[in-house]
Amino acid sequence: MDSKENTFSVQLDPKAILDKNFKKVMRGDDPDEVDEFLDQVIKDYESYNAELDRLSEENARLRSRVDELTKQLSVSKNVAAATPQQPSATATNYDILKRLSNLERHVFGSKISDGGQSTHDDQSGIDQY
């Protein structure tokens, strides 16, 4: 974020425009037309100032929210770094199934792999986990 605020100088505010008086000259502009135009300028300035105030408030709110989320992210990273990583459920399930298969082979021997036709225990194919 920019630490430098957007600053600008407005020399005329709506009241200054409203209170401005011009010299009267013989062949000058129509004072009623000038007043009408200045009224429009004043309305534009008031709208501009209202929008500027709204945007300034929104900017402050958003900056506050960014700071809050940055702090939350920092805390979350610290908690994640302090928490030991757990193995994924898929890897754990795979390991359990592998161990179960090895246990069945050990208990039932070759009966499982031969479809129950062999009666001797062949433990040479047992995977060690």
DSSP string, 57-71: HHHHHHHHHHHHHHH
DSSP at 84 = P
Question: In Å, how far from its chain's centre is CA 113?
Answer: 55
For residue 109, count other CB atoms closer than 10 A to its CB. Answer: 18
Per-residue confidence (pLDDT) for residue 90, from 0 to 100: 64
Query: How far apart (Å, rounded) are the C-alpha atoms in residues 129 and 122?
Result: 17
Using a cut of 0.75, tell me whether the model's pTM lies above it: no
Which residues of the chain have a pLDDT value below 50? 1-4, 118-122, 129
Query: How far apart (Å, rounded) are the C-alpha atoms in residues 30 and 22?
Result: 11
DSSP at 116 = S
Angstrom CA distances, 5 to 1, 58, 62, stand at 10, 14, 15
Per-residue confidence (pLDDT) for residue 2, from 0 to 100: 47
